[in-house]
Amino acid sequence: MIKNPHFDVVYGDAGDHAYVDFTDVDVRIPMFVYLSREKRPGYDHNKKAGAMNAMVRASAVLSNGPFMLNFDCDHYVYNCQAIREAMCYMLDRGGDRICYIQFPQRFEGIDPSDRYANHNTVFFDGNMRALDGLQGPMYVGTGCLFRRYAIYGFNPPRVTEYHGVVGQTKVPIDAHTRSAGGDEELRPLTDHPDHEAPQRFGKSKTFVESIAVAEYQGRPLQDHPSVRNGRPPGALLMPRPPLDAATVAEAVSLISCWYEDSTEWGLRVGWIYGSVTEDVVTGYRMHNRGWRSVYCITKRDAFRGTAPINLTDRLHQVLRWATGSVEIFFSKNNALCASRRLMFLQRMSYLNVGIYPFTSLFLIMYCLLPALSLFSGQFIVATLDPTFLCYLLLITTTLILLCLLEVKWSGIGLEEWWRNEQFWVIGGTSAHLAAVLQGLLKVTAGIEISFTLTAKAAAEDDDDPYAELYLIKWTSLFIPPLAIIGINIIAMVVGVSRCVYAEIPQYSKLLGGGFFSFWVLAHYYPFAKGLMGRRGRTPTLVYVWAGLISITVSLLWITISPPDDRISQGGIEV
């Protein structure tokens, strides 16, 4: 730990460096604390949410900054002015109702073609921008500046402005808040009184006293008549007392596992436990209380990180996100159970977070329907009446307009948009389907399954920065896409054979079914390319699975629709 610097400015000397003059430069080093939380089996400290809660409590007694920056260990600060821009939102008029500032995620080390849509530009530059016009973007787990007071589970100031919900009044503040510089405070009636603070935040008196101070320090400046919950300029210009051994010992006790016993940490306070995607749940709880968030896109990227460029690792990442979404859907954090403070369109966006993995069931049908039409010899649509054509035209026009809006708002090219569509099909028929299966088994039978992976072939050139892209690992998530690819290829062969050997060839049905099967296979091109590695060598295990799937589908089709043993030719049975 590097302790708090002296509150007076300390300038450097001309001789401190051979090439740079530090005589007019403040050389004080900010306070730095490395925190290693206690880990024991059965406690949530082993996960990200528990680690963040431990950090919040320890930092409250060490520094108690009103704002906290959170990003993953594989991210780093790329723009040192990004935090200043986020602070402008927090301290502006109405900024006291902002719970966090979310920055877009930018990644390095991704292959130039972005084969597996790691940049996810449509989501970060399209969907999140749209949410910024509502109650605010979702919390995506990294690159986020939080208001400490909002983390503690309190309602925002002037909460009654949200849909007329009653739950706020002016009450006298306690001695701790007066010492922070105020005379009265807007406190929600639903908050616990002081004697229930240990049951909510724990038994640390030092931590409970820091809450009111952090809330007051995070208020915007009272330099405009419209600022209703501000603080006068200069109220915080006071020296901070130095840290003593007792304060450090209190911080150590706050990060122990037993501290959260019989408290609301992880339930209503701090990062919420019980979900793989605890970041989305934490942001949802804040929006549900009436807080707002802001999406801040800086001219220069605020933060940058790394992303898995390997096919298997990318699918397992998507599986983890989708599994968390299914858990949210079957929990009390479902947006259907939200309070009236959550705006309608914001509710729809959170509802989509829990529903989107279930679209994999319809996507599987979409990918298999062309193959079934080729197997049966019937076109996908029995009759093309005017009503159906009008409906099809309306749906097609809507999809085209949606695609154009995504391209325009996201500022991407058609190639990147096409990569995003391809991986949506790949991930939807593999990781999303597995997440739905996991969620249903866990909810209905209490069974938890895991999809393991096994390395099959490694990249030969270690000097290639994209060598990981060609790493081939087998995982059971490959089975559904392989089945869809094999079934569509067999269906095209069956359709061509039926058309060639038929007395009256029906080329229109063949072209229609073949086109849609080819359209499905085109979406799986990055998947097939990933299985072939750098030199196009497909692992033997892939051929084995493809052969087993093809044989199974063929036998199943023969069982469902056995061939007729009578072949008619010229009206004579042979």
Annotated binding site for Mn(2+): 48, 72
Phi, psi of 262 (to 5 degrees): 60, 30
Tokens 């939102």 locate to 89
Q: Are 418 and 522 in contact (CB under 8 A)?
A: no
Which token pair is 470?
A: 């060609």
Could you tell me the CA-to-CA distances from 501 to 53, 476, 507 in Å, in that order? 70, 38, 12
Nearest to 477 by CA among 428, 511, 521, 513: 428
Q: Describe the strand order of the beta sheet including 75-77 as a list of residue ranges.
A: 75-77, 303-306, 107-108
- Per the annotation, where are the binding residues for UDP-alpha-D-glucose? 47
Q: How far apart are CA 49 and CA 185, in angstroms?
A: 30
Nearest to 154 by CA among 107, 110, 201, 92: 201
Q: How far apart are CA 510 and CA 387, in angstroms?
A: 24
E strand or H helix at 388: helix 386-410
**Centroid of chain to Cα 222:** 36
Q: How far apart are CA 306 and CA 317, in angstroms?
A: 13
Nearest to 201 by CA among 251, 248, 262: 262
Q: How many beta carbons lie within 10 A of that of residue 45, not counting itself?
A: 20
What's the DSSP call for residue 221? B
- Per the annotation, where are the binding residues? 47-48, 72
Rg (CA), the chain: 29
What's the DSSP call for residue 443? H
First to last CA, the chain: 93
